[in-house]
Structure 1
Amino acid sequence: MNSLLSQLLITLAQKEAAEKELHATVESLEILVAALISAMVPAQKEDVITTVETALDEMRENTDIAYTSDIDLLSANIARITAVAKRR
């Protein structure tokens, strides 16, 4: 029983470490994308943002209802990144 509990705790710790690593990777990519968009001239910046927003709208139209919450979450994250890029 102790061995099973120990194994479960080890597995949980490994999954938690992997989740933290994934979160750090996503955060790094968000910063990178925001910096890249910020470095663009205003016309390019607006073109990229409009293209991304159009792609999200198309995804919403062509996706099952089961995935709308995923798309909403993705949309919120993209809006946050592009808002940062627009401010710069």
Structure 2
Amino acid sequence: MLRKVAIAAVVTAALATAAVSVSATEAHAGNRAGAVAAGAIIGLAAGAIIASQVQPRYVAPVRCHNQAVRRWNPYEHRYVVVGYRRVCY
């Protein structure tokens, strides 16, 4: 997921750089309405890209417990616990 966010950030930075270069050329011409519209469109697109990448994921609860591992001990004539293993379902 971090990779997707990084890609979205790079794309946003590239689009912002393009918007700055476009707005600088249009500012000298005296027409700022086009620059504002371009900035708004690029901002909305960048926000949509980032928002689509950062979504909450459902994680199913995992139930785990430790289960005793028993082996027959012929010297004691009974089962003894020799360890534990983690069982998840």
Q: TM-score, normalised by structure 1?
A: 0.47
- Higher relative contact order, structure no. (Cα contacts within 8 Å, ≥ 6 residues apart): 1
Q: TM-score, normalised by structure 2?
A: 0.47
| Structure with the bigger percentage of strand | 2
